[in-house]
A = this chain, B = another copy of it.
Amino acid sequence: MAERIAGPEIERLVQLLARLPGLGPRSARRAVLHLIRKRDELLGPLGEAMRVAHERILACSVCGNIDTSDPCAICRDPRRDAGLLVIVETVADLWALERAGLLAARYHVLGGVLSPLDGVGPSELNMASLVQRIGEGGVREAIIAVNATVDGQTTAHYLADLLAPLGVKTTRLAHGVPVGGELDYLDEGTLAAALDRRTPF
């Protein structure tokens, strides 16, 4: 179709861009036209940045984070508290916590959550490496920071059971009303949790 219009190179770029999350065929076409308009400021540098990323980025063999070095910058950072291990589902969650800048801990990226229906069992996730890592000692507290979804919470309970014999203190994120949240828009489960765990002024 568009091949006939503007050559296979453009069509290929549209098709590849359309596979990014958040972009469909129409927005991919718009993005390609934008790229071509900004050919030297954007198209060239972006292509080069992708080439570099493709060449250099790898998963950290310790924590599962992505970086250009292995172990990653977080695992190598001596200013971080190696005794505090935050267990997250994905690198995106790790980034979210790092952006918030709330703690200087180390991480362990599971790579997903348990989901029997999708064929994701413990062996599909980075759980063996987690047990080994904690078993080697040095971890004082494991904070299970998975999402508050059904699969996330199932995974959290599984992890708590898995880590119990290792004698490490295991905690999880609190449930409650999000800051800035309006009660009217919250689900019953959140309201119940917020009431249940109410704290004195």
A198 part of interface (Cβ distance < 8 Å): no
Closest chain B residue to A7, Cβ basis = B68
Residues of B close to A47: CB separation below 8 A? 47-51, 53-54
- Once bound together, how far apart are the Cα atoms of A134 and B168, in whole Å? 81
CB-CB under 8 A from A5, the residues of chain B are 65, 73-74, 94-95, 98
Decide: B6 and A95 in contact? CB cutoff 8 A: yes
A39, B54: Cβ atoms closer than 8 Å: yes
Query: Are A92 and B33 neighbours in the complex by a CB distance under 8 Å?
Result: yes
A160 contacts partner chain B, Cβ-Cβ < 8 Å: no
* Interface bits A34-76 vs B (CB < 8 Å: 1, else 0): 1110110011111111111110110000000111110011100
| CB neighbours of A66 from chain B (8 A) | 6, 10, 33, 36
Chain B residues with CB below 8 A from A27, complex form = 21-22
A56 to chain B, nearest CB (A): 6
A sample of 27 cross-chain residue pairs with beta-carbon separation below 8 angstroms, ordered by A number, consists of A5-B98, A6-B65, A6-B66, A6-B67, A6-B73, A6-B91, A6-B95, A7-B68, A7-B69, A9-B49, A10-B57, A10-B68, A13-B49, A16-B46, A16-B49, A19-B38, A20-B31, A21-B27, A22-B22, A22-B23, A29-B92, A36-B53, A43-B50, A43-B53, A43-B54, A47-B50, A50-B50
Binding site for B on A (CB under 8 A): 1-2, 4-7, 9-10, 12-13, 16-17, 19-23, 27, 29-36, 38-39, 42-54, 56-57, 65-69, 72-74, 90-92, 94-95, 98-99
